[in-house]
Structure 1
Amino acid sequence: MNRDRNILFWLIGFAKPYIFWLIIAFSSMILVAYFELLIPYKIKEVIDGILTGEMTRELIKLSAYSILSFIATIFIFSSLFSYILNISGQKIMFSIRESLFRHIVKLPQSYFDSNDVGRITTRVTNDINALNEFYTNVLVQLVKDFLVVIGVIFLIISFNSLLGLIILGINIVVIILALLYKERLRRVYSNLRRTISQLNSFINESIRSISLLKMYNKEQLNYRRFLCYSENNYQANLDQMYTFAMFRPFIEFTTVFTAGVIIWVGSHQVIQKSMSIGELLAVLFYLRMMFKPILDLADKYNILQSALAASENLFSIINTSSEKNGKKLFNKNFKSIVFKDIWFSYANDNWILKNFNLEIMNGDSFVLIGSTGSGKTTILNLILGFYKPQKGEILIDGTPLDSYDMESIRSNFSVIMQDTPLFNNVPNEDDFHNIDVIRSIGEKQIQNIKTMMDRTFQVIVLDEATSNLDLDLEKDVKNYLEKIENKTSIVIAHRLNLIKDNDIIILLQNGEIIEKGTHSDLIQEKGSYFDIFRLNQNFFKN
């Protein structure tokens, strides 16, 4: 219950900048509700006046004009609040999407490891669109419907207290059943949103990896997996349909049943002169007016549950803590970066780094080598603050990494990954990467390397950056690295082509440093590095 209240307050918070326009819409709704209630009352006066002979032709004409003016007023103010709500709703959705995406880009890397792209995409697009109906058709419209129902009950009781109590009792039963029905609807809509995100995620991954699927003849296997996800979504939609299909017929049956009761009891009241025929007809008009919002409530409840399921998904993202960020700025003239007794694992106790210790001095040139999974890229991820070690600490000039503003650190690092994606769709056409020109992975990587090396940096990191380049281009990168002065460089590689004479080579195995030194020193030791170098040399000779 507290969670629902928190979600509701969070959603309403986005409406605060538009409170003035929402008040105008709310005021328009009150006027619409007032004139809707006035029409049956005016009709009642005309009918009773005709039956008693008090209503002249002129008075009937004036009453008809009055009713037409009420209808015109309802049309004008209904159009006004509908326009205001739709405009405000779009602006609110824009604010929510902007706020959500701003928060997403600040989330820790571990969040993206456990949540696939399709699911996050669904949150930012489909779930936010589901909230639009909540703002435009539910939030303020429910208030208007509530006012109409309260007004109807009050007027019916003023005509005949017995009929008013009968209608009130039936409404209480309907409300109780609707509340019992709520939890079932919530589960159905949550499951529906989940299957949609799973289907979106699968389609996203399939299209992104279409070349691999074709290469290994996995199209049929992938299609069968698609059918499984599609079937789950289909069943979730059927559950929604079946669940919702029971509620609306129940309300319609209740409307007809109540009308029958009112006619039966009201007829006796008319015969006994306890109420007039005009009042009985007005009660039947009001009964329709009262059950119409309740019938519409079934549709609005549909929208509300969809919005609540979507808002729960969005709220869970907002409730996820952002990256912890200190205030200390990174000093370009730093002295050292120290890994002190670092233990790190991505999941459970599967340690990637074990009691890892390393000191990187400003201006040093490091090469990290080792088998896949030995912890090379993990070291980079820890320096850039993408992950936090479970044990130990990382110090920059004696100050813990957590104390630093990570943006100031990352802005001083020029990092070139093995496969850095180029953003083809950007608002500024001057920054557009023409995919018709940049065709191969190698061409993209050249563009990445050129871009990152042109920027101002204090530390340059190459994480398997030349794996997609031929040997001539790799040699150009090595020549560039040799020209860098007074900068710190960290090269992560399987191939040894980028190693320079003065590089400090770190050989990693199972998250631990097994050898450390320059190329010449390690060759003389004839240890594991010597074996790797000889194997690499023989490979290129052959």
Structure 2
Amino acid sequence: MEFQQEEVLTKPYDPKIMRRLLSYARPYTLYIILSVIMIMVVTVANLLRPYLIMTAIDKYINVYHGSAANYAIQGVIRIGKIYLAIILISFVLNYLQIYIMQLVGQKIIYNMRQQIFAHVQSLSLSFFDKNPVGRLVTRVTNDTDTLNEMYTSVISNIFNDIFILLGIAVMMFSLNIHLALISLALSPFIIITAVFYRKYATQGYREVRVRLARINAYLAEHINGMKIVQVFHRQNKTFEDFIKINQDYYKANMAQLLVFAVFRPAMDFLYSLSLALLIWYGGGMVVRNTLEFGVLYAFVNYLGQFFQPVFDMSEKYDILQAAMASSERIFMLLDTDEKIKDPENPTSLTSVKGEIEFKNVWFAYNGNDWVLKDVSFHVKPGETVAFVGATGAGKTSIISLLPRFYEIQKGQILIDGVDIKDVRPQDLRRHIGVVMQDMARKGLYYQLYQLQFKNKEIEKCLNKASAS
């Protein structure tokens, strides 16, 4: 895989990944159940609103006239009060339901970000050699934000849509079977259109996410290395490469928009056609006095509610696909096991004298591209040694192998006669101090603090090093 190449993920939906995602929500099951109950109550309230208006029209407005008008007015007022109460209850429950799901989503993402960052910190340096910073930043920020949308929007809306569609079907068939069949006559075409949308939208969503991660990775690496870019006058080449990556991202977005631009008008057309059939058939029944006008009004309202989840399907599917792609990459990162592992029976280093020995050490960052070949040397306690050589000769590699930032392929590295593979990395590194070329005062202070120097001793060392 190239350094800037993002992982290409192919599965549009993976039940194992979904189960793993839902496991993060398990500690908040009670909150989710409470939210679902509220959604059910709100759904019933929304289904009652057209029914109440139907009742007002057919039992009072179109029935009582003249001297009975006062009775009709009182009936309409009673229904209006019930309607207002339902609206207020729906508002309160909707607010509580949304707040609870947002709270659950934020808690889940908070825990997930901590898990990802803790895992990234535990990985060996060889992992960071193969993965650009921008990609890792995308995992912790963009991908987790995408999952937050799934937890807060998609999960609750799935229950809401199911309740609405089932409730509308029950209400329609209970009011008038013939009108219900006419209203839902185009349902097979809706299903076929949704299947085609799912087929062509999946690849588009995933391509957009992949190309966005490539842009983030490219920007992070080249902005961090802008000094090198300018020193070697690589601005034009770098800009040309960025144009190509940016164009790929633009094309992926346009392909995604094309799919959406076809789906939504298709749904609008099917809704308008269903409404026309309903008015044609139901209006004829009203004219012939075989159907009350209030029932026709209720069917028109229920038909609008029936298509609302269908209209929103594209947005929800977008979120779901983005969440699946993001979760695959997050779990791929969490499942990465490029760690320097502790030995089964570790040897403790209590008091280190400082004797260092490399015995026939072979080391390569990639495959058999050896950086060190059969290297052996011995450093006595208290001895000062400098490694001098051309760029790429292995000076930094030797220093990186000593605290086990990388594992060697062959040979041994000994400290006071103890193989460093027999020592836990944290115990080994407690006895090693590293001062980088561009180390600031704060970094020096931290290194000395790790070596258990006291504050006064640290200040004295910093003053001697002219780092005060």
TM-score of the alignment, normalized to the shorter chain, above 0.5:
yes
Contact 2:42 2:90 in 1 (8 A): yes
| Counterpart contact for 1:103–1:322, Cα < 8 Å | no
Displacement of 1:366: 4.9
1:78 Cα offset (Å): 1.1
Cross-structure match for 2:447? 452
Q: Which residue of 2 aligns with 1:10?
A: 20
CA shift digits 1:235-287 (9 cap, x unpaired): 22222222222221121112111212223343456578775433332222111
Q: Report the CA distance between 1:144 and its aligned residue.
A: 0.9
Q: Give the SS at the match of 1:56.
A: helix
The amino acid of 2:163's aligned partner reads L
Gaps of 5+ in 1: 421-443, 459-472, 478-542
- 1:43 has 2:53 as partner: yes
Change (3 A) 1:399 1:217: closer
Identity rate of aligned residues, in percent? 30
Residues 1:347 and 2:357 aligned together? no
Counterpart CA distance in 2 for 1:2 and 1:96 is 22
Give 1:449 shift: 5.0
Deviation at 1:70, TM superposition (A): 1.1
- Higher helix content, 1 or 2: 2
- Shifted more, 149-158 versus 45-54: the winner is 45-54
Find the counterpart in structure 2 of residue 332 from structure 1.
350
Q: 1:343 is aligned with what amino acid?
A: W
Residue matched to 1:518: none
Q: What is the distance in 1 between the residues matched to 2:25 and 2:333?
A: 20
- The residue type equivalent to 1:15 in the other structure is A
Residues 352 and 217 (structure 1), Cα distance of their counterparts in 2 relative to 1, 3 Å cut: closer
Q: What number of residue pairs does the alignment pair up? A: 437
Gapped runs of 5+ residues in structure 2?
1-10, 454-460
Distance 2:428 2:306 in 1: 63
**Aligned mates of 2:409, 2:185 — CA distance in 1:** 61
Q: Which residue of 2 aligns with 1:386?
A: 405
Q: Secondary structure at the match of 2:434?
A: strand
Q: Pairwise mapping of residues 45-444 of structure 1 onto structure 2 (< 5 A)?
A: 45-50=55-60, 51=62, 56-165=72-181, 167-168=183-184, 170-267=186-283, 276-326=292-342, 328=346, 330-333=348-351, 342-356=361-375, 366-391=385-410, 401=420, 404-420=423-439, 444=440
Residue by residue over 1:78-121, the C-alpha shift from the partner in whole angstroms, topping out at 9 and shown as x without a partner, is 11212222233223222222111111111222221111111211
State TM-score, norm by structure 1. Answer: 0.71
CA contact (8 A) 1:160 1:275 kept: no
Aligned residue for 2:433, secondary structure, equals strand
Once the 2 structures are TM-superposed, how far is the Cα of residue 155 of structure 1 from its aligned partner? Answer: 1.6
SS at 1:28's partner residue?
helix
Task: Kindly indicate whether the alpha-carbon contact (under 8 Å) linking 2:285 and 2:291 is maintained by their aligned counterparts in 1.
Answer: yes
Q: How far has the Cα of 1:375 moved from its partner?
A: 3.0
SS in 2 for 1:105: helix
| Alpha-carbon displacement from aligned partner over 1:273-305 (angstroms, at most 9, x marks no partner) | 775433332222111111111112222222222
Bigger radius of gyration among the two: 1
Distance 1:290 1:379 in 2: 68
Contact between 1:352 and 1:374, CA under 8 Å: does it hold in 2? yes
Distance 1:231 1:21 in 2: 44
Query: 2:15 is aligned with what amino acid?
Result: R
Deviation at 1:172, TM superposition (A): 4.3
SS at match of 2:341: coil
Aligned to 1:510: none
The structural deviation recorded for 1:151 is: 0.8
Q: What secondary structure sits across from 2:186 in the alignment?
A: helix
Instruction: Tell me if structure 2 keeps the 8 A contact 1:329–1:404.
Output: yes
1:324/1:155 CA distance change after superposition, 3 Å = farther
| Residues in 2 aligned to 1:311 and 1:207: alpha-carbon distance in whole angstroms | 27
CA 1:40/1:333 → structure 2, altered by over 3 Å: closer, same or farther? same
> In 2, distance between residues paired with 1:21 and 1:61?
37
Alignment CA distance shift 1:170-1:321 (3 Å): farther
Instruction: Return the alpha-carbon distance in structure 1 between the equivalents of residues 272 and 418 of structure 2.
Output: 75
Give secondary structure in 2 for the equivalent of 1:123: helix
1:20 maps to 2:30: yes
Residue 362 of structure 1 and its aligned partner are, at CA, apart by 6.4
In structure 1, distance between residues paired with 2:421 and 2:183: 64
**Bigger strand fraction:** 1
Pairing of 1:453-532 with structure 2 (within 5 A): 453=448, 455-456=450-451
